[in-house]
Amino acid sequence: MTEVDGYLVLEDGTVFRGRSVGTDGVAYGEAVFTTGMTGYQETVTDPSYAEQLVCFTAPMVGNYGVAEPRMESEAPHATGVLMRRLGGEEWASWLRDRGVVALDGIDTRALTLRVRAEGAMRGAAVSDEGALPVEEALDAVRRQPQMEGAALVEKVSTQTPYSPVATGRVRVAVLDYGAKRSIVRRLAAADAAVTVFPHVADPDELATYDGVLLSNGPGDPEPLVEETAVVRALLGRVPVLGICLGHQLLGLAAGHETYKLPFGHRGANHPVLDRRTGRVLITSQNHGFAVRPSDAAEATHVSLYDGTVEGFDFPQLRAASVQFHPEAGPGPHDAWPILESWVAGLGGDA
């Protein structure tokens, strides 16, 4: 591999230099970090990372190769990949073949500390400084839209309904805001037939299913007015389970507010307290927005890092949600029973 000098520039002017190991060009996005030690392929193909430059805090990335079953969608959604050390040429080739700008040799510790101190920032990953000087890239970064206010689900959602799992004890509709394949796999493992719908669908049709799952997805939930209206129209009519962005949309539909976290929660080692049982779950997370804390009894789960609301239960609305990813993909399996229990409770009397 020919070494080319690349760099990352943040909107505050901070520059981190590295070596280009991905495709040639420039990638713009919000610079964020994930603390997951494994799961790099799942991370890059997770639609929730749309419009983001992902910094991996693990010291080596790519050391166990790539495989088709680890894909969480058809293609990468992260715009750029930032690493301390490239762990294998197979990973680099995979990134190049899919048009992802990637840099290794980045001081990821310093970058993570910068993001923690100043918050997630817009940035540009540039494969060749000779082709795009820092000053020009910085000017372009500052013209990019902010993540706050960004409605991104239309870019990652299916355009037409489809049924990846045709048979099962119950029928589940998944509203696709950027759904990971792991969600469908866990639903199928729990004996659910699954139909995936676009991000805005007819609530009357959705209400004919045994349950509706609101998926994960990218961007700010607040501008998703149509999506929130669909969720509100489902409440009380059919069991609803929200995951990640789906949790935030359920919160909005139930009258709560959302806000942007300083640097988000991304990784596979986040402790969450289930307030009902006192049990602590180690969870997989990927979100930059959250539902505003309140004293409401509906909040069933809270983050042990910062008190962020991590789950809701609205029995009167037949709805519940979790901010974390119970399907993992990647991550620990502590929360797998959440999906299984929800599916097991479907199909009975209302």
Query: Residue ranges per domain, the chain?
Result: 5-141, 153-344
Q: Give the pLDDT confidence score for residue 25 in this predicted structure.
A: 96
Q: Where are the beta strands (DSSP E) in 147-245?
A: 162-165, 170-175, 192-197, 211-214, 240-243
> What is the band of 4 on the pLDDT scale with cuts at 50, 70, 90?
low
> What is the band of 346 on the pLDDT scale with cuts at 50, 70, 90?
very high
Q: Do 5-141 and 153-344 show the same overall fold? A: no
pLDDT tens for each residue of 264-299: 999 999 999 999 999 999 999 999 999 997 767 789
**Alpha carbons 160 and 165: distance in angstroms, whole number:** 16
Token pair in block for residue 283: 């969870």
DSSP run (H or E) holding 117: helix 108-118
pLDDT tens for each residue of 43-87: 999 999 999 999 999 999 999 999 999 999 999 999 999 999 999
Q: Which amino acid is at 21?
A: V
Are 219 and 50 in contact by the 8 Å Cβ rule? The answer is yes
**Alpha carbons 227 and 155: distance in angstroms, whole number:** 14
**Alpha carbons 334 and 327: distance in angstroms, whole number:** 9
Q: Which residue has the tokens 């920032």?
A: 121
- What average pLDDT score do residues 119-136 get? 95
Contacts for 4 with CB less than 8 Å, ≥ 6 apart: 19, 20, 127, 128
Token pair in block for residue 233: 């129209």
Residue 144 pLDDT > 80, yes or no? yes
- The one-character DSSP state at 216 is -
> What is the band of 349 on the pLDDT scale with cuts at 50, 70, 90?
low
Residue 237 pLDDT > 90, yes or no? yes
Please provide the CATH number assigned to the domain covering 5-141: 3.50.30.20
> What is the band of 350 on the pLDDT scale with cuts at 50, 70, 90?
very low
Q: Which residue has the tokens 């609101």?
A: 214
Are 151 and 219 in contact by the 8 Å Cβ rule? The answer is yes
| Mean pLDDT over each residue of the chain, to the nearest integer | 95
**Alpha carbons 323 and 122: distance in angstroms, whole number:** 24
Are 266 and 34 in contact by the 8 Å Cβ rule? The answer is yes
Q: Which amino acid is at 111?
A: L
Percent of the chain exceeding pLDDT 70 equals 98
Residue 325 catalytic? yes
Please name the fold of domain 153-344. Rossmann fold (3.40.50)
Which residue out of 222, 244, 287, 301 is catalytically annotated?
Answer: 244
pTM (2 d.p.):
0.95
Q: Give the pLDDT confidence score for residue 62 in this predicted structure.
A: 97
Q: Give the pLDDT confidence score for residue 227 in this predicted structure.
A: 98
CA-wise closest residue to 308 among 324, 319, 325, 320: 324
Are 134 and 9 in contact by the 8 Å Cβ rule? The answer is yes
Q: Give the pLDDT confidence score for residue 296 in this predicted structure.
A: 72
Contacts for 29 with CB less than 8 Å, ≥ 6 apart: 51, 52, 53, 78, 79, 80, 122, 123, 125
pLDDT tens for each residue of 218-232: 999 999 999 999 999
**Alpha carbons 313 and 213: distance in angstroms, whole number:** 14
